[in-house]
Chain A
Amino acid sequence: MDPRKAETGKKSDQIQSGHVYHLALDIGGSLAKLVYFTKNDEHVVDSEKKNPPKKALGISNSNRNSPVLNGRLNFKKFETSKINDCLEFIKSMKLHLGGCQQPENPGSQTITIKATGGGAYKYADLFKEKLGVSLDKEDEMDCLVAGANFLLETIHQEAFTYMGDQKQFVCIDKNDLYPYLLVNIGSGVGMIKVEGDGKFERVSGTSIGGGTFWGLGKLLTKCKSFDELLDLSYRGNNRAVDMLVGDIYGGMDYSKIGLSSTTIASSFGRAISENKEREDYKPEDIARSLLRMISNNIGQISYLTALRFGLKRIFFGGFFIRRHPFTMDTLSVAVNFWSKGEAKAMFLQHEGFLGAVGAFMSSDKHGLKELLANQKVERTPSKLSFSMDQIQVPQKDWELNGDESIECSVYGA
């Protein structure tokens, strides 16, 4: 089957009948990310069919007698500047009602939704006004780390490397996961040293991130969206605007310092010609150069930071990557270049949603932990517990714009 058809967000939008159990938000500077769970009884059957041999954890088996809510964990994003679209969506999906166990009496108690990201503060009043919900703010970094830890520990094939068009999944022994460096590329970039659940520290960062790419890109090209800019970059050639080592040394490699002639000596260093205006450069080339500049820089600082703290793995996440192959490739090349091949950049299938997943998890951290540790289901009726032994992750086309869902089984009340 074509996973796209079965699994895309669009389809989940249509599942109006699915009962929404849970919603969490991550409202960043550029994008608002939603994670919500919809029950879909039909899929219980499908799911069983698709994955007949449940592997490993045996959670499913031990929980056969429990009420299992099979359904979907849905992922959706909106541009923060179009926050009203997001509100509309939540309203139309009645998502905001799912977080509350007393839907019949909404006036008596304020409905709260877990939220993280700067926007959780900024837009709190708006959510209150438009949806009548209060946002329960979760610390952004707590969420990020919780999301990453959860995904890396639980989801098979969550991490992968990407170099030269080769995508390679990496199996990570969850006992050998820590410590690692989590590089979250949102508008800015946060670099977090993670040593375990809830044990982490923001050790570095840079202001040159996704917001820089999109912000500068918007000013330099006529692109209307981040994705359009990414698309452009894919078709461009940075040689037109970047000064390469070869431009300086007349086509010869500057081998003395280990630079090849195609190494970028100066990003945009060629765009200084007196008789060329902005319009004379192709937007594709500008987009490409921007992307390389920013990816390269993040890769370098990440590697130096990992080195400084003796971290062997670097995971890159955040909406900037969008599983865009060229972005990942550039980040990988940068890490490879600066580490002289000793380190590899790794990516997460659900980059962009780490914070939202973390916020989602935060409503039931204890339940989940217990579940994972004891392989038991907590039956607290007011809370939702879920477990996934093998969450099936749809293999998506790269161009998918981020709305997706994960089929999963949740053990509910």
Chain B
Amino acid sequence: MATKGTNSIHRSSSRPLLDLSKAEIQGNVEEKYPTILLPNQSDDLSHLALDIGGSLIKLVYFSRHEDQSTNDKRMKRVKDKLGILNGNRRSYPILGGRLHFVKFETNKINECLEFIYSKKLHCGGWESHHADSTNNENAVIKATGGGAYKFADLFKERLGISLDKEDEMDCLVAGANFLLKAVRHEAYTHMEGQKEFVQIDPNDLFPYLLVNIGSGVSMIKVDGDGKFERVSGTNVGGGTYWGLGRLLTNCSSFDELLELSQKGDNRTTDMLVGDIYGTDRDYPKIGLSASTIASSFGKATLENKELEEYRPEDISLSLLRMISYNIGQISYLNALRFGLKRIFFGGFFIRGHAYTMDAISFAVHYWSKGTAQAMFLRHEGFLGALGAFMSYEKHGLDDLMVHQFVERFPMGAPYTGGKIHGPPLRNLNEKISWMEKFLQKGTEITAPVPMTPPGTTGLGGFEVPLSKGSTLRSDASALNVGVLHLIPTLEVFPLLVDPKMYEPNTVDLSDHSELEYWFKILSEHLPDLVDKAVASEGGTDDAKRRGDAFGRAFSAHLARLMEEPAAYGKLGLAKLLEMREECLREFQFVDAYISIKQRENEASLAVFHDLLMELDSLDEETRLLTLIEGVLAANIFDWGSRACVDLYHKGTIIEIYRMSRNKMQRPWRVDDFDAFKERMLGSGDKKPLPHRRALLFVDNSGADIVLGMLPLARELLRRGTEVVLVGNSLPALNDVTAMELPDIVAEAAKHCGILRRAAESGGLLVDAMTNTSDSSKENSPSIPLMVVENGCGSPCIDFRQVSSELAAVAKDADLIILEGMGRALHTNLYAQFKCDALKLAMVKNQRLAEKLVKGNIYDCVCKYEPAH
């Protein structure tokens, strides 16, 4: 970026400048980038833990996040100004990073060893592999599970690491406690095939019963962190299912046996109440229906049939029901005995298998007469490994809160059920090759429909999936486990009225038709997005290849979610839209719309001056209306909207903007303008106090920001209100990012003294020249215009997880303005804030218009809600 030396105002760049503020900034460097918060971290090995079970090896490892926080000096100045650097960061227990979950089959332990080796997970902390490799001799990895003893020598020999064995039950409980406290919607119920995610208040979690179904079953009463007791158990568990199943069928694997059960009919093996009392005759006196199992395998006693004459499918189902019901029953009785209100089931027996969960839930429901519910954990297989991870003294995850984690699903996720095969994918090229190979293999499927055998959790390597046609995978309903991104700087937005009740999404995707609609929208938009992405990287062959891979990967995500909407946890539109952006980033498309954004910004800035002139000629009241109209009209420029993309073919953006403004006609579909005007201008002679500070959540680049939001910001500044422009931390569609805002403001400031002084005051502009410094000193300190990032990279915003900067500036804010469909309609239309809130958007989607405002496409929403 070239510095415009001819101008008295310097747009500061990301390169350090020799400017007066240097010392000041330097003074803050330590606090701004406390890169080593745990000075001993690099010596610790707190980044890998193992749970080596009889059939699966589970790995949990932590990788350091490359610090993506902006290195922008202007942002720093804003933060300095706001005094938000002190304190907050200091208290973060650890730096950001990612918690990965991987599984291997125990009998393929070599693959696991290779994975660890290739990822250098055995080399200790993130820095020690740069350091003296002799450190490794003393490397110790926390491990649990029976295999921690069995394979200790192998790990020593192959990787030179010792396994430090942690008690299995300690780990289980620590893992479950962590997940239930730190991961949003970790728990879910499963009744008749329907998953429902449950958010448990971390303050009301204990006591609970944890039922771990491994070979046998342990029932653990958990009273708190490290406070638990094994109160019961049963020897009829997963081992019984698999053991008896092996003896009775010719299955060669547990999963095969489970899959068989899907096609089974247990009436051929079980004696039902109807078999005893005659068909179709219930035994209502004791509340048993004719289809209740009176005796598992009891029917086999009545017939002179050989084992071979029974279908293995029926036997498998009968076994599964017998064991699941029994576990459910004993669990309920124990919960009752100890007065525990919640029962969580975990362990390898469940494996996300829908029928198993249904059977357990049914038993708990049946025996408790509906007073108790079985709950399951999304990370059920990883409790032990996570617990082992937590047993490191300095893992630092103890105090993390649910809002500091963001779960993301990498491209492999749609194809995976849990295990990992083959070598890890080390770089982008390997990822792309994998995607390409996949499509060549699966010729019969046009879109990569993930009807494939389990591959991996998607963070390392994949087996090339084989198409199995229409065969339903036994764990098709199994949930994926993503990568937990730990972002310690995220906070809950302090102005939410009730953070516990807050739900960002306006549209409920659990309505299947809604889901289908949005999937169709996203699929249709995909080719255009791929084109834009490829073009943004110069249209090179490499970019094309990446673009194709992205298209396939994202289609696969969509297909996976259509198959199992709960696959990635609780699904919301915000999550879906963010996933698209993340998927782009995964294929290293930094900013697909960058050239479009720049072009539109330039075109809009060219007419900015004229617009200001026009506005300044109006009286106060007309001006306010014109400003709001302008925001709504300019909000038409949205590359996320199919309808708007079509508009672009019809004219220049200025033409479109003018057309859009001319069409503005009150009343809008939702029109609270008069209430807003009264708050701003008062009525009669009463002049209300201006707002102290307004947060403007901006949407699109180009006309939207330049001709819509900036003039509104200018008006607020003029009225004495501090303005904070809140932009995305990472690009999403053509949304303007926090990084781009200072440049736009600087350009705009050339045409406007109000903006210039405010930007200087807010630290967005750096005066290098003495004379301008002098001139600014003449004025009393201006009302500042600032920019902060919101902490997300999505076209929507989830106020449970925003940047700490935003949280800090919000504390003094008494007005927030949400602009655009993503932030004001798709999400937050019903969000309630402690301060005045104005939600402005043009509805650029017919269905949404009908559904939310009973209107039509291009209708406008101006929703004003005074402070709660």
- A interface with B by C-beta (< 8 Å): 28-30, 80-81, 117-119, 121-122, 139, 141, 186-188, 190, 202, 204, 206-212, 214-216, 218-220, 226, 241-243, 248-250, 256-258, 263-272, 274, 278, 281, 286, 293, 296-297, 300-301, 304-305, 307-308, 338
Contacts and interface: CB of A to CB of B under 8 A. Distances in A.
B322 A242 contact: no
Contacts of A220: 244, 247-248, 307
Contacts, number: 202
Given A207-B293, A212-B297, A297 B278 contact: no
Q: Please list the 5 inter-chain residue pairs (A to B) with the smallest Cβ-Cβ separation, ordered nearest first.
A: A269-B239, A211-B298, A118-B276, A268-B243, A266-B239
B469 interface: no
B333 A301 contact: yes
Given A211-B298, A272-B246, A187 B336 contact: no
Interface string B229-241: 0101011111110
Given A268-B240, A293-B235, A218 B300 contact: yes
Interface stretch (B324-332, B506-514, B860-868): B324-332
A57 B118 CA distance: 86
A216 B300 contact: yes
B234 A268 contact: no
B310 interface: yes
A28 B215 CA distance: 34
Interface in B546-590: none
Contacts of B149: 250
6 contacts: A29-B276, A121-B277, A122-B277, A211-B298, A211-B299, A265-B216
A248 B238 CA distance: 14
A39 B146 CA distance: 66
B360 to A, nearest CB: 14
Contacts of A278: 247-248
Contact of B239 (A30, A268, A305, A308): A268
Contacts of B325: 207
A187 B273 CA distance: 11
A270 B243 contact: yes
Interface in B240-283: 240, 242-244, 246-248, 252, 269-271, 273, 275-278, 281
Given A122-B278, A188-B271, A207-B270, A308 B244 contact: no
Contacts of B271: 29, 187-188, 211, 215
Interface of B: 146, 149, 167, 169, 214-216, 218, 230, 232, 234-240, 242-244, 246-248, 252, 269-271, 273, 275-278, 281, 285-286, 292-304, 307, 310, 315, 322, 325-326, 329-330, 333-334, 336-337, 367
A99 B225 CA distance: 68
Contacts of A242: 235
Contacts of B336: 308
Contact of A188 (B234, B298, B300): B298
Contacts of A268: 239-240, 242-244, 247
A28 B242 CA distance: 31
Given A214-B301, A269-B215, A305-B333, A119 B276 contact: yes
Given A187-B301, A208-B296, 20 more contacts: A30-B301, A80-B302, A81-B304, A118-B278, A121-B281, A187-B294, A187-B298, A215-B269, A215-B297, A215-B298, A219-B300, A220-B247, A263-B235, A266-B238, A267-B240, A269-B237, A270-B243, A281-B247, A286-B247, A301-B333
Contacts of B234: 297, 300
A266 B298 contact: no
A29 B325 CA distance: 21
A214 B325 CA distance: 19
B239 A267 contact: yes
A29 B239 contact: no
Contacts of A117: 276
Nearest to B274: A118
A219 B299 CA distance: 11
Given A29-B271, A29-B275, A30-B302, A207 B296 contact: yes
Contacts of B294: 29, 187-188, 207, 211
A211 B277 contact: no
A272 B239 contact: yes
Contacts of B215: 243, 248, 265-266, 269
A35 B167 CA distance: 57
Contacts of B270: 207
A206 B216 CA distance: 19
Given A219-B297, A268-B243, A118 B277 contact: yes
Given A265-B235, A269-B240, A272-B242, A209 B295 contact: yes
Contacts of A249: 146
Contacts of A206: 326, 329
Given A266-B240, A278-B247, A210 B333 contact: no
A219 B149 CA distance: 37
Contacts of A241: 243
B239 A208 contact: no
Contacts of B230: 257-258
Contacts of B326: 206, 208, 297
B304 to A, nearest CB: 8
A145 to B, nearest CB: 12
Contacts of B334: 304
A12 to B, nearest CB: 27
Given A243-B216, A272-B239, A300 B330 contact: yes
Most buried by B among A219, A293, A308: A219
Given A278-B247, A304-B337, A307-B337, A28 B297 contact: no
Contact of A211 (B218, B232, B286, B297): B297
A266 B247 contact: no
A81 B242 CA distance: 30
B243 A29 contact: no
A304 B296 contact: no
A210 B271 CA distance: 11
Contacts of A215: 269, 271, 295-301
Contacts of A29: 271, 275-276, 294-295, 298, 301-302
A267 B336 CA distance: 25
Contact of A212 (B216, B232, B295): B295
B169 A207 contact: no
Contacts of B276: 28-29, 117-119, 122, 187
B257 to A, nearest CB: 10
Given A29-B275, A268-B244, A141 B285 contact: yes
Contacts of B273: 118
Contacts of A207: 270, 292-296, 298, 322, 325
Nearest to B167: A256
Contacts of A209: 295-296, 298
A30 B169 contact: no
A212 B322 contact: yes
Identify the interface centre among B218, B238, B270, B297: most chain A CB within 10 Å of its CB: B297
A193 to B, nearest CB: 12
A35 B340 CA distance: 46
Contacts of A121: 277-278, 281
A222 to B, nearest CB: 9
Contacts of A274: 252
B689 to A, nearest CB: 65
A116 B760 CA distance: 94
A271 B299 CA distance: 24
Contacts of B218: 257
Contacts of A263: 235
Contact of B302 (A81, A264, A266, A308): A81
